[in-house]
Structure 1
Amino acid sequence: MAESGRKDFSDKAKEHVTPDSSKSTTDKLKESFTSTTDKGARELQSDSSKSTTQSTADKLGREKDDKVHGGTGDSVIDKTKNALGLGNKD
């Protein structure tokens, strides 16, 4: 069970095992949108205030994203700030 406002684990699993070739364009767009909003929500709430299950799932998700996308260690919020020129000026 996911926390309020988050994508349910069973939905994530179903999306992962269903081949893209059997999904409609609408389904793909919906999955992309809900995954993006879920990743944003994952960063807005601290791990210490989440359930153990949600915190663990979020940590694993961040690790996967880092491996797949060559993570910098920055949060989604930090990356957005940097892209807009509002980030930390080291």
Structure 2
Amino acid sequence: MSDAGRKDFSTKAKEAVIPDSSKSTQSKVSETFTDTGDKLARGAQPDHDKSTGQEISDKFGRSKDREVHGSSGGSVLDKTKNALGLGDKH
């Protein structure tokens, strides 16, 4: 089960199982857009406002992103605010 406007676990699992070489260009582009939208939504909504399943999925996704891309932590929204100079000023 997923929160409104979010990819659910089964959709993510299906996309991950199919190798990119077997996907059409349209499918790859569609996945890229929906993945980006899902990551933005993941960062915009606090975990305590999410369903349990979505919260667990988002925590796993953030952990995977940090492992793959390296990160100092923080949500996508926080990083965007900081990049625009709108973040917390300590």
Report the TM-score when normalising by structure 2.
0.90
- The CA distance in 1 between the partners of 2:41 and 2:49, in whole Å, is 13
Q: How big is the shift at 1:9?
A: 1.3
- The CA distance in 1 between the partners of 2:3 and 2:32, in whole Å, is 19
- Counterpart position of 1:14: 14
SS of residue paired to 2:3: coil
- Counterpart position of 2:27: 27
Report the TM-score when normalising by structure 1.
0.90
CA-atom RMSD in angstroms: 1.3
Output one character per residue of 1:2-33: Cα deviation in whole Å (capped at 9) or x when no partner.
11110121110011010000111111110010
Asked if structure 1 preserves the Cα contact closer than 8 Å seen for 2:20 and 2:28, the reply is yes
Q: What is the percentage of aligned positions where both structures have the same residue?
A: 63
Asked if structure 1 preserves the Cα contact closer than 8 Å seen for 2:44 and 2:75, the reply is no
